[in-house]
Structure 1
Amino acid sequence: MLVFVVLVAAIFAEGDGGILACFAKNHRVTPREQAILSYVAQNTGNPRISHELPVPIGTVKIRTHHPFEKTGTSNREEPLAAFWAE
């Protein structure tokens, strides 16, 4: 599992290029939501994400929830599975 998380984190950290950009475009995930998902892929909790970005924790929760809606998923693991399924 750790290797999976590290690999996904590396792909999500690519920024504007590669697989993430295509996935984000297909699901209309905004750049800020991509940033949030990169932290989610690294198994980072909302308080840490809030501190790192820095944005209010409520914003983190909303920006985490929106990609779930856009990808038809409901928890932190499912967007990663959807990402790999494409």
Structure 2
Amino acid sequence: MSSRAKLTLGAAIILSSLTVWGVHFQQTQEREAMYKGVLKDDERRVAKMKQRQQEFEESQRKRELYERVQTVRESGEVSGPS
């Protein structure tokens, strides 16, 4: 085999090896990024649940306050002239 053929073969092997390594590296990076996205989604979901719970508790407090101050009727009751 001539030296030119050996050089071409060596260059092809090196280029192919770098390509394979690059693809695997890129896949690893993408996998890590997707996993971080899942973690962020979980954090957002937990934060949203906490916020909804706080809003619900605030709504309950307001309702209790209003019921102490105002008369509350069932939704089926109709008020008419006395």
Please classify the TM superposition score into its range, dividing by the shorter chain length.
under 0.3
**TM-score normalised per structure 2:** 0.23
**TM-score normalised per structure 1:** 0.22
Q: When you count helix as a share of all residues, which structure comes out higher? A: 2
